[in-house]
Amino acid sequence: MQIYKVGGAVRDRLLGKPVTDIDWVVVGATAEEMLANGFRPVGSDFPVFLHPKSGEEYALARTERKSGRGYGGFTFHASPEVTLEEDLIRRDLTINAMAEDDQGVLTDPYHGQQDLENRLLRHVSPAFAEDPLRVLRVARFAARYAGLGFRVAPDTLELMRQLSESGELEALTPERSWKEISRALMEDHPQVFIQVLRDCGALKVLLPEVEALFGVPQPVAHHPEIDSGVHTLSVLEQAALHKQPLSVRWACLLHDLGKGLTPQSEWPQHIAHEHKGLKLIKCVNERFKAPRDCQELALLVGQYHTHGHRALELKPSTLAQLLQSFDVYRRPQRFEEFIAACEMDARGRLGLEERAYPQADYLRGAATAARTVAVQPLLEQGFKGPELGEALKRERLKALKAYKEQHPQ
């Protein structure tokens, strides 16, 4: 029995990055031997065991063969005869197909270390094209390591293009797709993830609503970058730079989908794109079964982001409706995330990345003013039921009128 550290732990150590999760592969052992040594089985599709003390995962060396469509369409074979090289060749990228023994000796049969030095994301073998999930994984790694200068190797991009055209991407489950998309959006350069998907033709399969934004112009006065797709990438870039949570990044990706529906005859104007985009945002949310907080924020940002930009001009009654739409009295954090998404939208424009966004503090102040209206005095006046709700609305509107008078444009 020989045990090797494999995959990301080896890659990140060689890159000088922190190693968080460690995967181990065991060569020359049977499942019975693992159990006899106190390991606990966890794998249903193939033999994976938890170490009796550390709890880390140890997998028996295995080979795999394509037996059906999609991510799960594989038959695995684990036995003591499977070599380390045979186990490593089934992995996606050369930089993930290296192993280290307990002495730190590197096994690198597919030149992953050289690709690390050359900053290349390259597939290990032609079997790469058998697993559609790898399109998303490679794009995610491109987003993770873009800051170090990594790029996808041309021959790997070509295999990703073939996968995108094969119909295999449609076999991915919403859960698997969302797992990769959500992880990619939380990388340092999530816009690279979207760009790589576009470069290999996967974006038009997975997110045709986002693909449709590219080539659609916007008014240059507000959008010096002009292209709606480029703007979306820039907004996503700003969200990452400002360390926004997943819900905000998801909303940033989808906020302008309505612009892809504007007839060419109306370009570069996009009248009512906020409302038009809601059905598309809802469709994308459902396609990937996004978490509820992501779904809700994406819809609200899509509908109201221009309200955010015009916050200083809004009438008190419109402000009151906006606050009510977000349920700021019970869910203040969601409104804070809306403000963040609006600010990222304002900054995601060529040459305007550093400009001030006074609307943010104005909206926060308005929410505070409305929230400070107390219910108790209204109860003491005898209001109850629906009448209490109406009285509360009136008092909040008064508070917003006073707030607006204190903050003239």
Q: What is the pLDDT of residues 345-354, one digit of tens each?
A: 999 999 999 9
CA distance linking residue 151 with residue 116, whole number of Å: 11
What is the mean predicted confidence (pLDDT) over 133-137?
96
Instruction: Judge contact between 122 and 156, C-beta under 8 A.
Output: yes
pLDDT computed for residue 21 by the predictor:
81
User: The tokens of 311 are what?
Assistant: 């916050």
Please report the domains of the chain, with CATH numbers, ordered by start residue. 1-118 (3.30.460.10), 372-406 (no CATH)
Of 119-128, 277-286, 306-315, 370-379, the one with minimum mean pLDDT is: 370-379
pLDDT computed for residue 110 by the predictor:
96
What is the mean predicted confidence (pLDDT) over 139-163?
97
Contacts of residue 216, defined as CB under 8 A and 6 or more positions apart, other chains included, come to: 227, 228, 229, 259, 260, 262, 267
Burial 144-169 (b: 16+ CB within 10 A, else e): bbbeeebbbbeebbebbbebbeeebb
pLDDT computed for residue 67 by the predictor:
46
Residue that is written with structure tokens 């707030």 in the block: 403
User: The tokens of 134 are what?
Assistant: 């790898």
State the DSSP string of 228-286. Answer: HHHHHHHHHHHHHHTT--HHHHHHHHHTTGGGGGS-GGGTT--TTHHHHTHHHHHHHHH
Instruction: Judge contact between 183 and 140, C-beta under 8 A.
Output: yes
pLDDT computed for residue 66 by the predictor:
54
* Cα four-point dihedral sign 141, 146, 150, 154: positive
pLDDT computed for residue 376 by the predictor:
82
Of 78, 103, 94, the C-alpha closest to 25 is: 78
Q: Is 215 left (phi over 0), alpha (psi -120 to 50) or beta?
A: left
What is the mean predicted confidence (pLDDT) over 255-265?
97
- In terms of DSSP bridges, do strands 2-6 and 48-50 run parallel, antiparallel, or are they unpaired? unpaired
Of 23-37, 195-209, 266-280, the one with minimum mean pLDDT is: 23-37
Burial class, 172, CB count within 10 angstroms (exposed 0-12 / middle 13-18 / buried 19+): buried
Instruction: Judge contact between 81 and 63, C-beta under 8 A.
Output: no
Give pLDDT tens digits for 299-339: 999 999 999 999 999 999 999 999 999 999 999 999 999 99
Give pLDDT tens digits for 155-182: 999 999 999 999 999 989 999 999 999 9
CA distance linking residue 160 with residue 336, whole number of Å: 38
Residue that is written with structure tokens 């019975």 in the block: 32
Burial class, 32, CB count within 10 angstroms (exposed 0-12 / middle 13-18 / buried 19+): exposed
Q: What angle do CA 46, 47, 50 make, to 5 degrees?
A: 130
What number of CA atoms fall less than 13 Å from residue 127's CA on the CB side? 19
Q: Which residues pair with 235 in a beta bridge?
A: none
DSSP state of 70: S
Residue that is written with structure tokens 């059906």 in the block: 68
Tell me the average pLDDT of the chain: 93
Burial 245-269 (b: 16+ CB within 10 A, else e): bbbbbbbbbbbbbbbbbbeeeeebe
User: The tokens of 336 are what?
Assistant: 């804070």
Give pLDDT tens digits for 55-78: 888 999 887 665 455 455 446 677
Contacts of residue 321, defined as CB under 8 A and 6 or more positions apart, other chains included, come to: none
Prediction pTM value: 0.91
Q: What angle do CA 362, 233, 219 make, to 5 degrees?
A: 70
What is the mean predicted confidence (pLDDT) over 202-211?
98
